[in-house]
Amino acid sequence: MDLLRSLPIGLYIEQPVTWLHRIDSRVKFVWLVGFLLTPIAASPEWRLAVVGLLLLLTISARIPIRIWKRQIGLLLAFSLLLFLVTLVLPDGIDANHHPRLPTTPIVTTEGEPSSPIASPPLPQPTSYNYVVFDRGIIHITRRSVDLAIRISTLTFTLLYSSNLYLLTTAPEEITAGVDYWLSPLRRLGLPVTEVVLTLTLSLRFIPLVLEEAQNLIRSVNTRAINWKKIGIRGTIQIWLAVVERLLQNLLLRAEQIASAMQVRGFTSPDTHHVKWHQFQLRLWDWLVGLGLILLVGARLVWG
C-alpha cells in the first residue's frame, strides 16, 4: 500500500502543470475563502451550484484521473451517505398533526351518540405539502431535505476546495500568499512571520508523516503475523507499539529539521526573513479575480 499515491491529501502535484498551477497564490487564496464563505446562509440551489463549480474546475484543469479519482469518489460517496442519513432522520421539529374533526362520536344530551359531521375537503390555494414522502418508517419532510443538502454540500465544499488548493499550489506559494494577506497584522504586534514559518514546516511535514506510516505498515506486513492466532489483545498491543514507534520517528524527524535550521544559522524568523516566492500578477490572474467578483455578485443576487 502506497500512502503517498493512494492518499495524496495536502500534497502538491508538480506535474502536469495545469492552468490552476499558473494562477497567483494570492488570488487562489481569495477564491478559497470565497468557496468557504459564500455557501453560508445560502439557498440549497447555490450550495449545489458551488459543488458543480468545483467539479467543473477540476475537469477543466485536466488533473490526472489517478489523483482525483479516489478523492472525489470517496468524498462524493461520503457526502451522498451523509445526505441519505440526514434525509431519513427526524428533522428536529416536534409538531404533531391533529384532525380538525373529532375521531370519536359525541354523546348528545339524549344519550345517543351522534356521528361527526362529514365536511368536504377545503380547497388549497397551492400544492404545498410539508411532508414530501411518508411510507412506513421513512418520513421525509421539506426541512429534512434542506438539512441534508446543507450538510452534505458544506462538507464536500469545505474538504474538496481546500484539497484542490493544496494540490495545485506549492507550499512556498501558499505561505507567501498567507504572509501577504496577514502582513497588515504586523502593525498590531502579531507574530505573522512565526505563523507563516509554522505553516511552511507543517506543509512540508505532511509527506514525512505519510512516509513513516507507510514504512511501519510495510514492516508489519512483511512479518506475516497470524492475526487470528494472536487474538484481539495481541493485535491491539502490536498496533499500539506501531503507533508509539510512529510518534518516536516523527519526533526524531522534527528534531533533525530543527538541528538543520540551527546549523544554517536560522535562529529567528524576524532576523532571517526568507522570501518564499516572488509574486507577479498576469493577465489571467486579473481575469480570475474578475470571476471572483462575479461569483460574489451572483451570491448576493441569487444565492
Read off the pLDDT of residues 63-117 as tens digits, 9 standing for 90 and up.
Answer: 777 777 766 777 788 888 888 888 777 766 655 555 555 555 555 555 555 555 5
Q: How many helices (H) and strands (E) does the chain have?
A: 10, 4
- Closest CA relative to residue 10, chosen from 199, 187, 154, 194: 199
Phi and psi at 106, nearest 5°, equal -95, 130
pTM score: 0.69
- Closest CA relative to residue 291, chosen from 246, 250, 283, 1: 283
Residue type, 188: L
- Answer yes or no: is pLDDT of 263 > 80: no
CB within 8 Å of 18: residues ≥ 6 apart? 61, 62, 63, 168
What is the chain's mean pLDDT, rounded? 75
pLDDT of residue 1: 47
| CA distance between the termini of the chain | 43
Q: Each residue of 176-193: pLDDT tens digit?
A: 888 788 888 878 877 777
- Answer yes or no: is pLDDT of 210 > 60: yes
Classify 128 in phi/psi space as left (phi over 0), alpha (psi -120 to 50) or beta.
Answer: beta
